[in-house]
Structure 1
Amino acid sequence: MPFQTIDALDATGKRVLLRADLNVPMKDGRITDRTRIERLCPTIRELAQKGARIIVCSHFDRPKGKIVPEMSLAPMAEALSEALGRPVTFAADCVGPVAEAAVAALADGDILLLENTRFHAGEEKNDPALAAGLAKLADAYVNDAFSAAHRAHASTEGVAHLLPSYAGRLMQAELEALDAALGRPSRPVVAIVGGAKVSTKLDLLGNLSAKVDVLVIGGAMANTFLAAQGAAMGKSLQEAEMHATALEILTTAKANNCEILLPVDLVAAQEFAAGSPHRTVPAMSVPEGTMALDVGPQTVELIEARLRGAGTLVWNGPLGAFEIPPFDTATVAIAEMVAGLTASAGLKSIGGGGDTVSALKHAGVVERLTYVSSAGGAFLEWLEGKTLPGVAALGG
């Protein structure tokens, strides 16, 4: 997908509308994870240094087109200012007279944050009038919100057709990482897909089985594949109604010369609880009254063997119930190996998706992989082979 970066933007003196994703986790009015704010800073700093007048817009939460005071972006202005080390002013609307007056007061290098775009019903409807109102504020548009690029909204897609449009540094990094993962990867390509349900990742499994050389399936979804092949799974989480689909995926993968690697052993326990007695069992025979909560050491060895010769790894989903030790053992072991191969063997390692990021943070390797995406749905839809409206709009 061709797109222009801010290298092509003559920013000096220009009003630049920057679409960010400030939909950060909050608890009791406090931001609990500032990752998205921190990752936005390089684009803002670069534009400010070039003398742009930066107008940041974003959604937050789900106000459903109404003004909901506790969903205001006002607290984000202070957080953004702290992260940047420079003042950030705030406008109590994202379009109209209030926003226009705030933009008019900007000098070169100044930064303004607009109020929640979702306070307007036209945002999620991709209303042309709202897109035009946003475009009126600026001379150029920069999208640095890959994590919202799967939404065809006024601030992510509509406005991009009304102004010269560019990818910010975070958007650029995401797109380049994903191109390295599936567009023009170094082979062999290994994909690790975990999670609870096959039904939520059908498109992902279908797309990856046509593009990767080895597809490792872990997490509870592996139980469904094993059960479909006649395994006794005890009381493990699995989807009986997806057995036929699982067998179809195996057949399709074989036709695509894609090796699917399923667990050969599992760690089973009677309860999903810290300190619960557990033991390693063959993958095809989980005892009655127990559940599989992680892949076992033989499976870890098989995964490690595939990774040693790999050129690229795509990772979406943990291998086990990593939230409670010792069921994090396999995920942490593989994460540490991936980090080591990234440093020593040039493995291109790309991970993403909410549980994946949490698991990689738990393993302490987020900074040691080639790229870890903070996007959730957008990262997943890209891996599924879908066109993202916010990305497509940058192509003109």
Structure 2
Amino acid sequence: MNSIDQIDIAGKKLLFRVDFNVPLEEGIITDDNRIKAAVPTIRYALDKGAAVILCAHLGKPKGKVVPELTLGPVAKRTGELLGVAVPLVPGVIDDQARMMAEILQPGQVVMLDNLRFNPEETGKTVEERGDFGKKLADLADIYVNDAFGVAHRENASVVDVPRYIKGECCAGFLLKRENEYLGDALADPKRPYVCVSGGAKVSSKLGILNNLLGKVDDIIIGGAMANTFLLAQGYGMGKSLVEKDLVQDALSIMEKAESMGSKLHLPVDFVYAKTHKAQSAEGVCKADSMPSDALALDIGPETIKNFVSVLSGAKTVVWNGPMGLFETTAFAKGSLDVCKAIAGLEDALTIVGGGDTDAVVHLMNLADKFSFISTGGGSFLEFLEGKELPAFTALKECMK
């Protein structure tokens, strides 16, 4: 898979698939990190004398033009960060788009409006996606994918454009870094190698846990997903979130972990309250003594001590998912202390993925203390499951 710095782009028109799905409130961008992350690749292309056509999606307009989901504010902010004008092409693929692409000069940038205004972008099959990918490809000479956040999606702009583009395909610097850290670096990790998995559901992490068994030395499980493992051990979890239908899967993972050399670490105590809306904790209990009318909302002090101890000697850490309801201060300590422990590791490769986990890191202002923060949610999870993502497959096949 080529990266943009490995091909000749001078004087060429580049179609960039970027992930600019940023949060908006009344037309105002509240977090522009995704735009900032793609700026180095775009700036490189412009400095090399290329013309750039940006394409992205925003929200879920479901194939219809939704004025509130226009990329107008995104184009404006992109222009501010690049220091050049970034006009928005309103129709995505129409005569105006083709005309603007045709007259685009080296050093100039335009942005197509929300790709998902067109229902073919998210078609599940080649037939449903129609010729949308070909129409996009016809706008440019070279295709650049720098959108890891949609790398797991078989969207027209991700998998079809590489088939039809008349020139080369390549990865942008952002996609290249994701591949280097999640692929190359984890292929032969320094040990001890620790996976920290949290969040709400075991169901979303089953593939990851099964794939990492035998590959990692330790697996730390926190958050509500730990409840299902404890339920599988016969503990009453009160009114805590559990997935009863996955108890057998949890038992299987625990059994396989022991036989495959990966040590599983579960909470031994919890901070609890009677409702998710509680602003203060009602107490701390042992994992086997959860009050019948309460919910586990954070890992307890003994668990924090245990988890930090496991992390203290780690040389490679992959973290996805908070340890509790970190959005509420009373239930944030577990997530924040785990974050501090990972951030404080010296000479270790530390990788973070997932929106909530990223939010914890930025809440602590510790982003610069981690080796790598992935820009993908679903893509990050599927990568850790050992799957080859459609975007990577498409770029590789484009080279043949």
TM-score over 0.5 for the pair: yes
Which residue does the alignment assign to 2:131?
Answer: 129
CA contact (8 A) 1:274 1:325 kept: no
1:100-115 alignment, distance < 5 Å: 100-115=98-113
Which residue does the alignment assign to 1:245?
Answer: 249
What's the secondary structure of 1:285's corresponding residue?
A: coil
CA contact (8 A) 2:17 2:144 kept: yes
1:258 corresponds to 2:241: no
1:190 corresponds to 2:194: yes
Deviations 1:3-22 (A, max 9, x none): 11111121110001110111
1:351-366 alignment, distance < 5 Å: 351-366=352-367
Q: How many pairs align?
A: 391
What's the secondary structure of 2:181's corresponding residue?
A: helix
Shift of 1:278: 3.0
CA contact (8 A) 1:265 1:298 kept: yes
CA contact (8 A) 1:180 1:186 kept: no
Q: Among residues 178, 181, 188, which one is paired with 1:177 in the alignment? A: 181
Distance 1:173 1:4, change over 3 A: same
CA contact (8 A) 2:281 2:331 kept: no
Which residue does the alignment assign to 1:376?
Answer: 377
Query: RMSD between aligned alpha carbons?
Result: 1.6
Amino acid at match of 2:353: G
Which residue does the alignment assign to 2:318?
Answer: 314
Q: Among residues 38, 41, 44, which one is paired with 2:42 in the alignment? A: 44
Which residue does the alignment assign to 2:66?
Answer: 68
Which residue does the alignment assign to 1:23?
Answer: 21
Measured in 2, the distance between the counterparts of 1:274 and 1:227 equals: 23
What's the secondary structure of 2:116's corresponding residue?
A: helix
What's the secondary structure of 2:120's corresponding residue?
A: coil
Amino acid at match of 2:100: A
Which residue does the alignment assign to 1:81?
Answer: 79
Shift of 1:68: 2.4
Measured in 1, the distance between the counterparts of 2:121 and 2:75 equals: 21
Shift of 1:333: 1.0
What's the secondary structure of 1:314's corresponding residue?
A: strand
CA contact (8 A) 1:72 1:116 kept: yes
Measured in 1, the distance between the counterparts of 2:277 and 2:21 equals: 32
Shift of 1:272: 3.4
What's the secondary structure of 1:394's corresponding residue?
A: helix
Shift of 1:214: 0.7
Distance 1:337 1:297, change over 3 A: same
CA contact (8 A) 2:42 2:52 kept: yes
Deviates more, 1:359-368 or 1:55-64: 359-368
Deviations 1:64-101 (A, max 9, x none): 22222222222221111112121112222233421121
Measured in 2, the distance between the counterparts of 1:181 and 1:272 equals: 38
What's the secondary structure of 2:373's corresponding residue?
A: strand
Measured in 2, the distance between the counterparts of 1:97 and 1:115 equals: 14
Measured in 1, the distance between the counterparts of 2:330 and 2:193 equals: 29
Measured in 2, the distance between the counterparts of 1:220 and 1:65 equals: 35
TM-score, normalized by length of structure 1? 0.94
Which residue does the alignment assign to 2:295?
Answer: 291
Distance 1:185 1:161, change over 3 A: farther
Shift of 1:217: 0.5
Shift of 1:203: 1.3
Shift of 1:273: 4.3
CA contact (8 A) 1:181 1:313 kept: no
CA contact (8 A) 1:310 1:347 kept: yes
Instruction: Structure 2: state its 5+ residue gaps.
Output: none
Shift of 1:295: 1.1
CA contact (8 A) 2:18 2:145 kept: yes
CA contact (8 A) 2:223 2:324 kept: yes
CA contact (8 A) 2:239 2:294 kept: yes
Shift of 1:274: 5.1
Amino acid at match of 2:213: S
Shift of 1:332: 0.7
Measured in 1, the distance between the counterparts of 2:301 and 2:351 equals: 24
What's the secondary structure of 1:219's corresponding residue?
A: coil
Measured in 2, the distance between the counterparts of 1:327 and 1:306 equals: 21
Distance 1:124 1:275, change over 3 A: closer
TM-score, normalized by length of structure 2? 0.93
CA contact (8 A) 1:128 1:158 kept: no
Shift of 1:176: 1.2
Shift of 1:128: 4.9
Shift of 1:268: 2.1
CA contact (8 A) 1:179 1:185 kept: no
Amino acid at match of 2:269: D
1:211 corresponds to 2:215: yes
1:98 corresponds to 2:96: yes
Which residue does the alignment assign to 1:280?
Answer: 284
Measured in 2, the distance between the counterparts of 1:355 and 1:70 equals: 25
Which residue does the alignment assign to 1:35?
Answer: 33
1:157 corresponds to 2:155: no
Measured in 2, the distance between the counterparts of 1:279 and 1:181 equals: 41
Measured in 2, the distance between the counterparts of 1:79 and 1:170 equals: 19
Which residue does the alignment assign to 2:330?
Answer: 326
What's the secondary structure of 2:122's corresponding residue?
A: coil
Shift of 1:112: 0.9
